[in-house]
């Protein structure tokens, strides 16, 4: 049985009602040489990075102690690291037709929200006291978007690189602390990751996955990113 068929199987677990935001946690190690890292996420320095690999279909819910959630058909792994100036996220997105994906999506940033297959990040930055977050999004063509919650702001200096392989596409994102107002001395920050797969194929393919299957644009649903101190 192919791996992706296994993932089609339902995963319904019994458990206690989760304490939101406390259950999802990932480390963001300090890696001095991460800025010069290549695409091989299994090789140093990415090998020492933190990982988030449980993107589930958005809409997971726990009611009366019963959790209902569903794993992604197209898995996504996220590698996390930081250096003195920025956060780094390496996205590894399974996609059986990634080569064709390369041709889709608009690279322009002038018109609204990035269209097509995309990744969105929700990062608390300096907004903890307001229970708010920055919303950063990019599509496979590299078009970026930045907002403070729903209000679009100047895109900022954060950068995205993408590449396309036979069965996956990858992205390396660098987010300078200033773009989200993050104090480098901060030990933790809340965040959320979202992936949109085939938005135009509502009948068969479209899939929205998030960290833990939680909702987006929802401060209380953000997971916890533990930031390793900068030496």
Partner 1 sequence: MLMMKKILFSPLLGLGLLLSPLTAGAETIPPQQAWQHLFEADLPGGGLLFHTYGETEPLVLEHLGTEENGVSRYRSRSGAEITLRTSRAAEGYGQVEVSVTQNGKEPLLLEPELVCRFPRGDQHWFDGFAEQSQPQGRDEICGTLPFVALYDGKHGTALGLNPNDLASDFRSRLSEEEGSYRLSFSSRMVIAPGKTETRRFILFSFTPDYGYLNAIGEYQRFFPAVFEATPGIHPETHGPLLGGLAWRTQNDRYLGKDPKYNQKISDVIRWMGGGWEWCYAGFGYRPGDWLCTEEETGNWQMPEKGKRIAFTERFNMTAAEYLRQHQEAFERIEPFGIASMMYIIPNYCEEELARERYPDSIYYDDQNKPRSAGPPWVVQHDRSLQMYPYGNSFGDYTLEAIKTIVTRSDIAGFAFDCIDRARYPYHGPGVERSPGQAYDDKGRIFVNSEIAHAKFGEAVHDLHRDGLTMALTGNFRGDTGSYLAARVLDAILIEHSPWDERPLAQNVRYLMGRKSITWLRGFERLPQITERKGEALVEMMDTLTSYTILQGLRLGIYPNFRYVTGNPRLIHYMQVFNDLFRHYQWNPVPGATAPGELWLTRYGYGADGVLAVGNPTAAAVKGELQPASRYFGAATTAWIDYEGRQSLTNRMTGADPTIGFELPRGKALLLAAGLSSQTPFRGEITAQRTRQPDRSHTDRWSFTSPARQAWSVRDVPGYRVGEITLNGKPLEAEVAGSEHRFQVGEGEQVVTVRYLPEIALPDTGALANLPFLNEKKEAGFAVEIPADTAIYRHQAQKLVSFFSNYVLGMADPDKVLPVPVVVRGEAPPEAAVQVVLRENPGAKRTEITVNGSTVTVTGSSPNHLAKGLNALLDVLQDVYPHYGLLQVHEKSSPADHRALEPSLFQQNTDQTYLPWKQP
Question: Residues in the site for partner 1, rule: CB under 8 A?
Answer: 10, 12, 16-17, 20, 57, 59-66, 68-70, 112, 129-132, 149-154, 213, 215, 217-218, 220-221
Compute the least distance from the CB of residue 152 to partner 1, in Å.
6
Place of tokens 């250096």: 83
- Which residue(s) pair with 52 in the sheet? 78
Nearer to partner 1, 10 or 185 (CB): 10
Give the shortest CB-200-to-partner 1 separation in angstroms: 13
8 A C-beta contact, residue 51 and residue 77: yes
Indicate the pairing of strand 11-14 with strand 66-69. Answer: antiparallel
Q: Which residue has the tokens 């091989």?
A: 40
Least separation in angstroms between CB 213 and partner 1: 7
29 vs 156, which CB is nearer to partner 1?
Answer: 156
Query: Nearer Cβ to partner 1, position 60 or 165?
Result: 60
Min separation Cβ 112 and partner 1, Å = 7
Nearer to partner 1, 58 or 93 (CB): 58
Round to whole Å and give the CA distance between 114 and 94.
20
User: Distances from the Cα of 63 to the Cαs of 15, 77, 213, 222, in angstroms?
Assistant: 10, 27, 14, 19
């Amino acid at each position: 049985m192919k791996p992706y068929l296994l993932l089609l199987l339902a995963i319904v677990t019994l458990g206690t009602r989760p304490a939101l935001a406390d259950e999802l946690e990932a480390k963001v190690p300090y890696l001095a040489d991460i800025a010069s890292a290549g695409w091989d996420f299994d090789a140093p320095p990415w090998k020492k990075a933190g990982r988030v690999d449980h993107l589930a279909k958005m809409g997971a819910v726990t009611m009366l102690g019963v959790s209902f959630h569903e794993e992604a058909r197209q898995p996504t792994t996220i590698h996390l690291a930081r250096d003195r100036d920025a956060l780094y996220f390496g996205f590894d997105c399974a996609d059986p037709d990634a080569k064709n994906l390369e041709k889709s999506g608009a690279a322009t940033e002038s018109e609204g929200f990035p269209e097509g297959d995309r990744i969105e990040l929700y990062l608390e930055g300096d907004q903890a006291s307001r229970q708010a977050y920055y919303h950063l999004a990019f599509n496979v063509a590299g078009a970026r978007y930045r907002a403070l919650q729903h209000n679009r702001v100047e895109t900022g200096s954060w950068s995205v690189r993408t590449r396309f392989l036979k069965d996956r596409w990858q992205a390396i994102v660098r987010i300078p602390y200033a773009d989200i107002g993050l104090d480098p001395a901060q030990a933790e920050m809340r965040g959320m990751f979202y992936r949109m797969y085939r938005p135009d194929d509502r009948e068969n393919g479209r899939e929205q996955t998030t960290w833990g299957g939680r909702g987006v644009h929802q401060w209380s649903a953000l997971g916890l990113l533990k930031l390793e101190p900068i030496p």
